[in-house]
Amino acid sequence: MQEFELIRKYFRPLAGPGAFGLGDDAALLKPPAGCELVVTKDVVVEGVHFRAEEVAANVAKKALRVNLSDLAAKGAQPIGYLLGLMLPRADDAWLSGFTQGLREDQKTYGITLLGGDTVQTLGPLTISLTAIGYVTEGNMLRRNGAQAGDVVMVSGMLGDAAIGLQVLQGKRQTADDAYFVDRYRHPQPRLALGQALRGVASACMDISDGLAQDAGHLATQSGVAIWIDQARLPVHPALRALQNWDAICAGGDDYELLFTVPAEKEKLLTHIAENAKIMLTKIGVVEKGEGVKIIDGDGNLLNLSKCGWQHFGHTN
């Protein structure tokens, strides 16, 4: 199968407005009136970000959703994406499953394919995806606005995906394996939440590399310290029973939103959580200073044996 046949067969049906049926060199794009575009890129590599055994539709969804999660963190509404696909071989069954996964998620998230490039590689299957969304002008959420006195919030539950990966690797068995594996396989970009946080959150980011490390980025960008109360961390009961704080604080792949809110706006969060249908938990406070401190029930600093996902020197 040649490149152009492959595009015609699998990718053209996914193309949306401005993509010209993928028959041109580029896509045309204009933000809605009064809006700005938000652009992000995340790459996923077989053997690093997803398992070689993973079915094609799940690979597609993971590649898409980790990018949509970045848009969620900015409070953006997604429009579409460009797909860079590096294929070891052109395999019909795989491409069929992969594009089926894209199709399902395009429907779920109201987005379309804008363009991209498909090339042959001698290396592992790799997907480099650029996602584009928009926000009303001046309303994009940033990482740099947290101030001393703000409360620190997180959506959903932490550590599930790290346990899910251990289950898939045969390293662990729990009564809730299906739940944990699904949390690993299918990140849930918190788009409705992110959009509701515009004008409310003082800083926001998604947790992809583990709470401890990502809170560190938010603290650095904002020039503050973040104090987290271990007892408040939202954790699935089965995971709490395991007492696996590495998974919870440094496991990665959570794709929940970590954000800060001025104390006087905290009362707005109940309504926001209800509308976005997501649990929100106050896990700490912003203080003057720098760095992240996770405090245990005895008032001591939690000792993490590692400090989150690092891309060089770590594969799964």
Q: Residues interacting with a second copy, by CB under 8 A?
A: 1-4, 6, 20, 23-31, 36-45, 47-49, 70-71, 73-74, 76, 82-86, 90, 114-124, 126, 128, 130, 132, 135, 137, 140, 142-144, 205-206, 217, 220-221, 310-313, 315
Cα separation, 146 vs 224, in Å, equals 7
CB of 220 to a second copy, least distance (A): 8
Grouping H, G, I as helix, E, B as strand and the rest as coil, residue 8 is helix
**Tokens at residue 126, please?**
């790799």
Cα separation, 39 vs 41, in Å, equals 7
Whether the Cβ atoms of residue 160 and residue 254 lie closer than 8 Å to each other:
yes
CB of 231 to a second copy, least distance (A): 29
CB of 310 to a second copy, least distance (A): 5
Q: Which is nearer to a second copy, 81 or 227 (CB)?
A: 81
CA-based R_g, the chain, Å: 20
Q: Which is nearer to a second copy, 86 or 249 (CB)?
A: 86
Q: Which is nearer to a second copy, 123 or 289 (CB)?
A: 123
187 burial (CB, 10 Å; 0-12 / 13-18 / 19+) is buried
Q: Which is nearer to a second copy, 47 or 289 (CB)?
A: 47
Q: Which is nearer to a second copy, 137 or 296 (CB)?
A: 137
Cα separation, 239 vs 237, in Å, equals 5
Whether the Cβ atoms of residue 63 and residue 44 lie closer than 8 Å to each other:
yes
**Tokens at residue 313, please?**
């020197």
Provide the residue type at 314 as one letter. Answer: H
CB of 4 to a second copy, least distance (A): 8
CA 157 distance to own-chain centroid: 13
Cα separation, 226 vs 299, in Å, equals 15
Query: Within 10 A of 186 (CB to CB), how many other CB atoms are there?
Result: 15
Alpha helices in 87-130 (DSSP H): 92-109
Cα separation, 181 vs 165, in Å, equals 7
Q: Which is nearer to a second copy, 25 or 298 (CB)?
A: 25
Q: Which is nearer to a second copy, 28 or 55 (CB)?
A: 28
CB of 291 to a second copy, least distance (A): 15
CB of 236 to a second copy, least distance (A): 25
CB of 25 to a second copy, least distance (A): 4
